[in-house]
Amino acid sequence: MAQSTEFATHPARARVLAELHARPVVPVRTPTRMLQYAFATNAEASARDRAALARFCEGNGVRPPAPDARYASLAFSGGTLRWESHAEFTTYLWRFDEMPERTAAPFQPPPDQLAGVMHALPQPGPLLVAVDLHLLPQAALPDDPGALFGDGGVVGSVVADGAAAIATDFGTDPRGFVRILVADCGLSAGQAGSLVQRLLEIETYRCFALLGLPEAQTLSPRIGRIERALAEILTQMGASEGYEANKRLLDQLTALAAELEADAVGSLYRFGATRAYREIVTSRLAALNERPLTGVPTWSDFLSRRLDPAMRTCTSTEERQASLSRKLARAAQLLRTRVDLELELQNRTLLAAMNERARTQLRLQQTVEGLSVAAISYYVASLAHLVLEGIHEAGAPIDPSIATAALAPIIVLGMAWLVRRVRRKHAAD
């Protein structure tokens, strides 16, 4: 049945569907040698790496990856390259097969002779993972495969329902590679491809999961210092009095909280990535379905003993940050309440003083009003007396002194009424 094209599709639909097929399991035939490099990269470094890989492919007559591709398989004359661009790292997986003369003995020839082409590419970022994986038939293995590894002890198990055995020491050889030996005891090409992909992912993701440990170890002393500083501030809070003392303690708490939150934001991605990588390692180990070899710890046992303490350290550090942040917030809230109360008390005292000054000014104003009524009445009476004298001189039968004396009470009352009216009008405005 043909697919309908009448509906508008989601802009991310193509990417979502393609993601399921982005990393197919590539069948692998025994013998095979694989060298994988994982470089820590950010967005800018990934863009530079993509451009450098495109130039390298064009110079060797190979079609480069698409500009938006995150994975690509590239066939060169010396081997096959599987290139992958992840969120914070880029991997180069070189596969060398169908070369019996190069794969007759475990880990021979040295990896430098196989992946010399890597030196023709600019390094995308700091190298974190370098794996040398050798898949050989069981008959090609020496009598004591453990002698191939260092003195740290071999870790191995039987996997794929007895169709393969895997061994490593998780240490680095003199050239800096972690060597993984896979014995083919009856693997199909599909089983071999799935197995080696899981093993490479386990080594890659366990290294990136452990990046959270240095972060936690760096943060732990700083968290301890903030915890001690908080304890000292809480002790001082019991004896601090007054606005200035409490404000000083609040400023110290705010500075500690800002420092803690800056560290928490900086480590948020790292600890989240650590948890995600640890879950991937756990799922890949479970998919191996290991059976122990005599006298040798399995990969799951070994990595659990080494990884779990580191993961608990990261989790504990993250929980300490969250708990300390809550404690700082509560302490700051208590101090802020005390500062607000002290400020309100100061404001109340200030308002009381302002009210007292207002009452004093009112009394002064009333006194001035009384004096102003007397002064204005005096000047009005004087003017009235002058007017009455003029009328008397004109021949009117009026005694200016007696008339002025009679008008004086009326003038005083009138001036008092006028001043009161003006004051009430101003008060109403």
Pairwise CA distance, residues 275 & 280, whole Å: 9
Contact assessment for residue 181 and residue 134, using Cβ atoms and an 8 Å cutoff: yes
The DSSP string of 303-335 is HHHHHHHHHHHHHHHHHHHHHHHHHHHHHHHHH
Q: Residue 17: left if φ>0, alpha if ψ -120 to 50, beta else—which one?
A: alpha
pLDDT, position 358: 77
What's the rounded mean pLDDT across residues 214-240?
Answer: 90
pLDDT, position 397: 79
Map tokens 């800002």 to a residue: 258
CB burial readout 112-123, b (16+ within 10 A) else e: eebbebeeebee
Q: Residue 195 pLDDT > 90, yes or no?
A: yes
pLDDT digits (tens, 9 = 90+) for 285-316: 999 999 998 888 999 999 999 899 999 999 99
Pairwise CA distance, residues 345 & 343, whole Å: 5
What's the rounded mean pLDDT across residues 193-201?
Answer: 95
pLDDT, position 188: 93
Torsion of CA 165, 166, 167, 170, to 10 degrees: -170
Q: Residue 5 pLDDT > 50, yes or no?
A: yes
C-alpha distances (whole Å) from 180 to each of 233, 241, 299, 406, 412 are: 54, 67, 11, 128, 117
For the chain, give the mean pLDDT: 85
pLDDT, position 314: 95
Pairwise CA distance, residues 192 & 28, whole Å: 6
pLDDT digits (tens, 9 = 90+) for 254-296: 999 999 999 999 999 999 999 999 999 999 999 999 999 888 8
Q: What is the pTM of this model?
A: 0.76
Q: 62 vs 146, which has greater pLDDT? A: 62
Neighbouring residues of 187: CB distance < 8 A, sequence distance ≥ 6:
30, 160, 163, 164, 195
Q: Residue 101 pLDDT > 60, yes or no?
A: no
pLDDT, position 153: 82
CB burial readout 369-400, b (16+ within 10 A) else e: eeeebeebbeebbeebbeebbeeeeeeeeeeb
Query: Helix, strand, coil shares of the chain as percentages rounded to 5?
Result: 60, 15, 25
What's the rounded mean pLDDT across residues 44-60?
Answer: 91
pLDDT, position 26: 84
Pairwise CA distance, residues 199 & 236, whole Å: 56
Q: Residue 104 pLDDT > 70, yes or no?
A: no
What residue ranges do the domains of the chain occupy? 19-187, 365-428
Contact assessment for residue 87 and residue 79, using Cβ atoms and an 8 Å cutoff: no
What's the rounded mean pLDDT across residues 65-78?
Answer: 85
pLDDT, position 6: 73
